[in-house]
Amino acid sequence: MAQGDSLGYHGERQHVWLGVIEGLIKWSITSRDGRTVTLAGQSVGSWFGEGTLIRNAPRQSDLVALRHSRVAQLPFDTFDWLRRHRPSFNDFLLTQMNERMHWFMGNLAAYGLHGTDSRVALALLGMLHPLPNPRGERHLQLSQEELANLAAVSRQSCNTALMRFKDAGLIRNEYGGIVVLDLPGLQQLMQ
């Protein structure tokens, strides 16, 4: 799918479990007046959409490719069979949903209590979390524009925050992405 293509919109029925093979997917909610809240970014190796399938309800969010992406689609029948017959699959889903809920609680606090630097740090930390980054890579193939989109800040504000992070030795910019050098230091920005 090309940059800007949608995997699904709010209100649509979902019939597959989704996994990112290549690219970056933004998971967000858009209000009727056009304002958008980004919930998370899904990168290579991450799986998502299980809540919508389990609830058997329409999507409550939008899924949009932030760059060219390839996405695996596991049909509902296979997903449901795995849930009903493989306890280890249920354990994986339960852990994933618990981690995601914990992440959302932190995200909500950051948006309500912290400024731009914290929001950019949270977006970076979100891309390092094992759910969207199961390989644990510290080099994030992420442009400043994509990061700004995930942090829901302007590109200029994101650039300013990243310059402060770089000066503090938390990150390094490299061709095609950002390298996180000091994870605990980045996490400190959230306290």
Report pTM.
0.73
DSSP the chain: --TT-EEE-TT----EEEEEEESEEEEEEE-TTS-EEEEEEEETT-EE-HHHHHHT---SSEEEESSS-EEEEEEHHHHHHHHHH-HHHHHHHHHHHHHHHHHHHHHHHHHHH--HHHHHHHHHHHHHSTTT-TT--SEE---HHHHHHHHTS-HHHHHHHHHHHHHTTSEEEETTEEEES-HHHHHHTT-
Which tops the pLDDT comparison, 137 or 20?
A: 20
Rg of the Cα atoms in the chain: 17
Does some domain include residue 25? Answer: yes
> Which CATH number belongs to the domain containing residue 178 in this structure?
2.60.120.10
Count up the domains in the chain and report the number.
1
Q: 1 in a domain, yes or no?
A: no
pLDDT in tens, 32-76: 898 887 777 888 888 999 999 999 999 989 999 989 999 999 999
pLDDT of residue 191: 65
Q: Is 21 contained in some domain?
A: yes
Range of the domain at 86: 6-188
